[in-house]
A and B are shown apart, each in its own frame.
Chain A
Amino acid sequence: MNVPVHHFLYLGAFLFSAGLVVVISKRNTIMVLLGLELMLNASNLNLVAFNRLHPGNLQGQMFAIFVIVVAVCEAAVGLAIVLRIYQEYQTSVPDDVNELNL
């Protein structure tokens, strides 16, 4: 099966946009983190897809693996923060955490 590269790029762009929309529009922090994962994965998809154009070069794929690792860590740290915030303020909506804003 030979899928042209730009189809992957379209999918990546769509995923990235969807992630961005989620990050911006969702009120819950967990959903924002989900959107972030979506965006990271969209970029991973791009990195992997570009290998098609340069078959000998594995730097992109390595970078994608690296991104996955970092994303895991980020998700772990992020969820930990969300948990702490939830314990502290009984909410996971970032807009409601406005102690410094007032």
Chain B
Amino acid sequence: MDAIHTYSFFFRFCLVAALAFPLLSFALSFYISEKYSWITSVLASFLLLLGTLASAVVLYQAWNHSPFTYQREWFSLAGYSFSAGLHINNISALMLFIVTGVSFLVHLYSVGYMAGDAGIQRYFAMLGFFTFAMQGIVVSGNLLMTFVFWELVGFSSYMLIGHWHEIPAAAEASKRAFIINRVGDAGFLVGLMIVWAHGHSFDIAALQQLPVDPTWMTLASLGIFCGIVGKSAQFPLFTWLPDAMVGPTPVSALIHAATMVAAGVFLLARVHFLFTVPSLHVVAVVGCITALLGAVSALAQHDIKKILAYSTLSQLGLMVVALGAGSPQAALLHLFTHAFFKACLFLAAGAVIHTLHQAQHQSHVHFDVQDIRNLGGLQKKLPFTFLIFVISGSALAGLPFTSGFLSKDAILTALVQWKGEGFSWKLLILAAVALVSFLTVVYTFRMIWKIFKGTETATARLYVSEPPAVMRAPMAVLAGVSLWIWFSWNPFDFSGWMYVNIGEAKPFHSGIVSIASAVWVILALGVAYFTRQVAFGSSWLLNAFYFDRFLKQFVEKPILQLAALTHHADKKWIDGFLHATAYAQLVVAHLTGWFDRAIVDGLVDGVAGAARGLGSFTRSFQGGKIQLYIFWATFGIIIFIIWTLL
């Protein structure tokens, strides 16, 4: 890296354009009339293509140069100024490109997948907004700004998961995703406050220079980790992710690959310096539990998308373990490779679902196409999708010559380095991760076997054809980048051009780990082949150990009871006090009103009345009646005489 790199105007323009195109796509979607809603999908894809090109320029120009930073005051409060800033380094430029690129492919795929959907404009609008929000997190150089985009990501995921909001399960799942994320974000906010109280800055670059106060740093980093647990669906806030599968499949691809859950891991890598040793241990343990839980639960699922969802859980767990083990590089490498192959898997699964749905419509046969027990023998009918599924599935399983092998190898190597010599609890985590990678192979190939091999069951009578080209192209691209070649020339050495440039740590590569890893997954492949007919039908596994029920019983119920209690107290005491105050005020008002009317007005009216009475009395003497004058004159004389005589 050179010392100070000056960035051209073109670079700045492209950076703004990369973010502006998805936002423009969001805005324009509302201006196209319902009649021509197909334009929305094409236009959105085109805008995202432009955004991808712009982010490619950003990546090309920022790669291996000193970071591009931009900062200006956002607002000032109580004498402190809060700034907003951008920070583009290798990691964020690469992430920006991957987010925009995967989002473009998902857009393109959605043109085919969502054709004819009633809410297509809302769908593409939110897809664009989702991408924009995620890009905001990626380029942000400021934790406060990150938090804002973080919330926007949560909001847009809520909109997209609940796209088919007329289905009760979708509405429920979107609410659940949003609320569980809020729980994590509460912790995030507390963490941010602690950071602010100590550093008076949210700027990530400035925070790196902060003197370390172990206790507070641990608390702050654990707070931020809470937000990451929510967003990246770690234990114990993971239940929303499998439920979110009711959303459209391309959305799941986007959520699982590049946007939603990746945000947590990306942020964790970005603020890794804030984490102290104890909090890193917590991170590693949480990641390990999530990885195991996801892998074991994935074994027993029947729903294609649920299997993929639990596999995402376990892969995210692996990334978090790597971060906990102090290797953001390995975690980020896995994040990047995972982005491609998981998006590809979801798109391929979406293709299966989509084509089967179409076939069902033609032949009027109805069964749950997402349930792998109903599927089988589709290899002949969908050879292209099968090929895609096998490539991306191999990458997920971590077979040699795939990107997944490289990144899993990186994580395992990092863990081997981390555990050090001798026996400790860290060895358990390494063992658990090894077990997870073993199980990954088993459930991935079980799924592929059930869908494409075996005997045809319910699908036998359907006429199934490959999805349209607009859906096949993104799948092909993503399957292509699931190969090793894009990440490292040597398929058995993960420290390729990407790995060495996304972190400072010296590349450490152990051939033994690579070979052991390769042997391990091939062994797992054998196990997967021999157990392909075994059904892991435990209801415990199927429901992820009933964790959501556990949460309902021990978290939701007490909170609801507490809420009822506070509601009651509020009604009875707070409202009662307010009502009493209001009543007292009413009484006082009535009293003063009466005083005003009777005394104050009465006094004024009395003076006026007296004047009027006096006037009419004296006027009565001047009545213009002659005889009255005479009477008064006589009366006066009589009075005068009586008075003088007496």
Which residues of A line the B interface, CB within 8 A? 20, 23-25, 32, 94-95, 98, 100-101
Asked if B422 is at the interface of the complex by the 8 Å CB criterion, the answer is no
With a CB–CB cut-off of 8 A, which chain A residues contact B626? Answer: 94-95
A-contact bits for B622-633, CB 8 A (1 contact / 0 none): 001111001100
Q: Judge whether A23 and B630 touch: CB under 8 Å.
A: yes
With a CB–CB cut-off of 8 A, which chain B residues contact A95? Answer: 625-627
Q: Judge whether A32 and B627 touch: CB under 8 Å.
A: yes
Contact partner of B630 (CB less than 8 A), chosen from A24, A100, A101, is A24
Q: Judge whether A101 and B624 touch: CB under 8 Å.
A: yes
Contact partner of B631 (CB less than 8 A), chosen from A24, A32, A94, A101, is A24
Q: Judge whether A24 and B627 touch: CB under 8 Å.
A: yes
Which residues of B line the A interface, CB within 8 A? 624-627, 630-631, 634
Contact partner of B627 (CB less than 8 A), chosen from A25, A98, A100, A101, is A25
Q: Judge whether A98 and B624 touch: CB under 8 Å.
A: yes
Supply 11 A–B pairs (Cβ within 8 Å), ascending by A. Answer: A23-B627, A23-B630, A24-B631, A24-B634, A25-B627, A94-B625, A94-B627, A95-B625, A95-B626, A95-B627, A100-B624
With a CB–CB cut-off of 8 A, which chain B residues contact A24? Answer: 627, 630-631, 634
Within the complex, the shortest CB–CB distance from A99 to chain B, in Å, comes to 10
With a CB–CB cut-off of 8 A, which chain B residues contact A94? Answer: 625-627
Q: Tell me the nearest residue of chain A to B631, going by C-beta.
A: A24
With a CB–CB cut-off of 8 A, which chain A residues contact B630? Answer: 23-24
Q: Tell me the nearest residue of chain A to B622, going by C-beta.
A: A101
With a CB–CB cut-off of 8 A, which chain A residues contact B634? Answer: 20, 24
Q: Tally the A-B contacts, defined by beta carbons under 8 Å.
A: 18
With a CB–CB cut-off of 8 A, which chain A residues contact B631? Answer: 24
Within the complex, the shortest CB–CB distance from B304 to chain A, in Å, comes to 107
Within the complex, the shortest CB–CB distance from A65 to chain B, in Å, comes to 26
With a CB–CB cut-off of 8 A, which chain A residues contact B627? Answer: 23-25, 32, 94-95
Measured CA separation A101–B624 after assembly (Å): 6
Within the complex, the shortest CB–CB distance from B622 to chain A, in Å, comes to 10
Within the complex, the shortest CB–CB distance from A33 to chain B, in Å, comes to 12
With a CB–CB cut-off of 8 A, which chain B residues contact A32? Answer: 627
Q: Tell me the nearest residue of chain B to A98, going by C-beta.
A: B624
Measured CA separation A98–B625 after assembly (Å): 9
Within the complex, the shortest CB–CB distance from B139 to chain A, in Å, comes to 94
Measured CA separation A49–B634 after assembly (Å): 24
List the 6 closest A-B pairs by CB distance, nearest first.
A101-B624, A24-B631, A94-B626, A24-B627, A95-B625, A24-B630
Within the complex, the shortest CB–CB distance from B456 to chain A, in Å, comes to 118
Q: Tell me the nearest residue of chain B to A101, going by C-beta.
A: B624
With a CB–CB cut-off of 8 A, which chain B residues contact A100? Answer: 624
Most buried by B among A23, A24, A32, A94: A24
Measured CA separation A25–B634 after assembly (Å): 13
Q: Assuming A24-B630, A101-B624, what are 14 further A-B pairs, CB within 8 angstroms?
A: A20-B634, A23-B627, A23-B630, A24-B627, A24-B631, A24-B634, A25-B627, A32-B627, A94-B625, A94-B626, A95-B626, A95-B627, A98-B624, A100-B624
Measured CA separation A17–B164 after assembly (Å): 113
With a CB–CB cut-off of 8 A, which chain A residues contact B625? Answer: 94-95
Measured CA separation A94–B625 after assembly (Å): 8
Measured CA separation A94–B631 after assembly (Å): 15
Measured CA separation A94–B634 after assembly (Å): 19
Within the complex, the shortest CB–CB distance from A23 to chain B, in Å, comes to 6
Measured CA separation A95–B627 after assembly (Å): 9
Q: Tell me the nearest residue of chain B to A100, going by C-beta.
A: B624
Measured CA separation A100–B626 after assembly (Å): 13
With a CB–CB cut-off of 8 A, which chain B residues contact A98? Answer: 624
Q: Tell me the nearest residue of chain A to B626, going by C-beta.
A: A94
Measured CA separation A23–B625 after assembly (Å): 12
Within the complex, the shortest CB–CB distance from B12 to chain A, in Å, comes to 94
Within the complex, the shortest CB–CB distance from B642 to chain A, in Å, comes to 15
Within the complex, the shortest CB–CB distance from A41 to chain B, in Å, comes to 18
Measured CA separation A51–B83 after assembly (Å): 127
With a CB–CB cut-off of 8 A, which chain B residues contact A20? Answer: 634
Within the complex, the shortest CB–CB distance from A94 to chain B, in Å, comes to 5
Measured CA separation A32–B625 after assembly (Å): 13
Measured CA separation A98–B634 after assembly (Å): 23
With a CB–CB cut-off of 8 A, which chain B residues contact A23? Answer: 627, 630
Q: Tell me the nearest residue of chain B to A32, going by C-beta.
A: B627
Measured CA separation A18–B255 after assembly (Å): 121
Most buried by A among B625, B626, B631: B626
Within the complex, the shortest CB–CB distance from B619 to chain A, in Å, comes to 12
Measured CA separation A98–B623 after assembly (Å): 10
Q: Tell me the nearest residue of chain A to B628, going by C-beta.
A: A24
Q: Tell me the nearest residue of chain B to A23, going by C-beta.
A: B630
Measured CA separation A61–B631 after assembly (Å): 30
Within the complex, the shortest CB–CB distance from B176 to chain A, in Å, comes to 91
Q: Tell me the nearest residue of chain B to A102, going by C-beta.
A: B624
Q: Tell me the nearest residue of chain A to B629, going by C-beta.
A: A24
Measured CA separation A100–B631 after assembly (Å): 21
Within the complex, the shortest CB–CB distance from A77 to chain B, in Å, comes to 16
Measured CA separation A101–B629 after assembly (Å): 14
Measured CA separation A94–B624 after assembly (Å): 10
Within the complex, the shortest CB–CB distance from A82 to chain B, in Å, comes to 13
Within the complex, the shortest CB–CB distance from A3 to chain B, in Å, comes to 27
Within the complex, the shortest CB–CB distance from B357 to chain A, in Å, comes to 102
With a CB–CB cut-off of 8 A, which chain B residues contact A101? Answer: 624
Measured CA separation A2–B626 after assembly (Å): 42
Measured CA separation A54–B624 after assembly (Å): 44
With a CB–CB cut-off of 8 A, which chain B residues contact A25? Answer: 627
Q: Tell me the nearest residue of chain B to A20, going by C-beta.
A: B634
With a CB–CB cut-off of 8 A, which chain A residues contact B624? Answer: 98, 100-101
Measured CA separation A25–B628 after assembly (Å): 9
Measured CA separation A38–B268 after assembly (Å): 128
Measured CA separation A24–B626 after assembly (Å): 9
Measured CA separation A98–B624 after assembly (Å): 7
Measured CA separation A23–B631 after assembly (Å): 9
Within the complex, the shortest CB–CB distance from B638 to chain A, in Å, comes to 10
Measured CA separation A53–B535 after assembly (Å): 159
